[in-house]
């Protein structure tokens, strides 16, 4: 069995300076950050900050269903994703409660509890007790 030796002029990811490796990690898909980090101690050290941001994003957003009841929800979530794209990886559900076609429509959605109208079977009739 022969092992092919690397090319004389080839360079490995671990040969690069940590600042450049960290920048490369920032550019790859968020689902691969942890996998790359656990390949060796050097890459784990370079990806430590990215993994910390994953923990924050998971704790803050995982399992939450966001909705646009408040008109500020959409711009606020977009601001967070622009500031840290890893945040967008953990926002998995977003419910749209209505259309906002016009500028005047950008207000809180009014959620009303339906008025309760009892059915005949729900109404109790008093029956005199036999004594």
d(Cα 50, Cα 55) in Å, to the nearest integer?
9
For residue 5, name the pLDDT band (cuts at 50, 70, 90).
Answer: low
**Using one digit for the tens of pLDDT, what is the confidence trace for 79-106?**
999 999 999 999 989 888 877 788 777 7
Phi-psi region of 63 (alpha: psi -120 to 50; beta: other; left: phi over 0): left
pTM of the model: 0.64
Residue 67, SS3 per DSSP: strand
Which whole number is the average pLDDT over 106-129?
A: 60
- Contact between 106 and 100 under an 8 Å Cβ cutoff? The reply is yes
**Using one digit for the tens of pLDDT, what is the confidence trace for 23-61?**
999 999 999 999 999 999 999 999 999 999 999 999 999
- The per-residue pLDDT for 118 is 60
d(Cα 3, Cα 52) in Å, to the nearest integer?
37
User: What are the phi and psi torsion angles at 67 (to 5°)?
Assistant: -140, 155
- Contact between 111 and 69 under an 8 Å Cβ cutoff? The reply is yes
- Contact between 44 and 37 under an 8 Å Cβ cutoff? The reply is yes
Residue 1, SS3 per DSSP: coil
Q: Domains of the chain: which residue ranges?
A: 15-112
């Amino acid at each position: 069995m022969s092992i092919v030796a690397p090319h004389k002029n080839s360079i490995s990811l671990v040969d690069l300076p940590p600042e450049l490796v960290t920048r490369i990690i920032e550019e790859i898909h968020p689902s691969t950050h942890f996998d790359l980090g656990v390949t060796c101690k050097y890459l784990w050290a370079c990806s430590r900050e990215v993994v910390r941001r994953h923990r924050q994003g998971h704790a803050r957003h995982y399992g939450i269903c966001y909705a646009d009841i408040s008109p500020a929800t959409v711009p606020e979530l977009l601001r967070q994703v622009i500031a840290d794209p890893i945040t967008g990886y953990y926002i998995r559900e977003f419910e749209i409660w209505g259309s906002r076609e016009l500028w005047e429509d950008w207000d809180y959605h009014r959620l009303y509890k339906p008025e309760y109208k009892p059915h005949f079977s729900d109404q109790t009739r008093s029956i005199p007790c036999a004594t």
